[in-house]
Amino acid sequence: MYSLDKHENKVNALSLNQSETQLVSCADSKNQIIIWERKEQDKFEFKHFVTQSIQEEGLKIKFIKDNQFIWITGGKQIDKLYVFELKEGVFYENQEKTIQLIINNEKVDEYRFPIIYNKERNLIVVRHKTYIYIIIEIKNGKFKIVDQLNCDTIDIYGTITNNGQYLVYWDEKSQAYSTYELLNK
């Protein structure tokens, strides 16, 4: 029907906001996040490039709210989760909400296991390099890691149940499925 063609390299991740009026995408090149907006005849059109404080490749992106998305670095040098928020029609990085993940300068991240968000349980599940992170939003609007599982491999695939009660994943090291109950803390 039509294509969205502003990226210079392959697109790694996409996410729609809850009202499905905006789409965010990140590509294989450094500093390449784009916001697309639903316009006439339900077609998405380019809105703007998102400015970032770092030059790093990212493989995962996810809207958490209509006015907020998270993006995670994918290269060897920086291991962080970044929060972007809508202000006056443009998405900006909120550096006060950046989360430092476990530093691992030996491995790059992989595409597997997209960011999972469960609104009812206020729960974000992120797989980055060898870790699975369980993250919640705390009262001041910032995010906090409440648990982290080290799988000692980047080959991890997983999801959570629809009600957000259980995390199920498979990893290369154990060659098995693991199930964890996600408790509200």
Return the DSSP state at 18.
T
CA distance 2 to 14: 16
- The full length of the chain comes to 185
Task: Check residue 80 and give its pLDDT.
Answer: 95
pLDDT tens profile 134-185: 999 998 889 999 999 999 999 999 999 999 999 999 999 999 999 999 986 5
CA distance 94 to 178: 34
CA distance 130 to 148: 10
CATH topology of domain 11-181: Methylamine Dehydrogenase; Chain H (2.130.10)
Question: Of 185 and 121, which is predicted with more confidence?
Answer: 121
pTM: 0.93
pLDDT tens profile 40-87: 888 999 999 999 998 888 889 999 999 999 999 888 889 999 999 999
150 alpha-carbon distance from chain centroid: 18
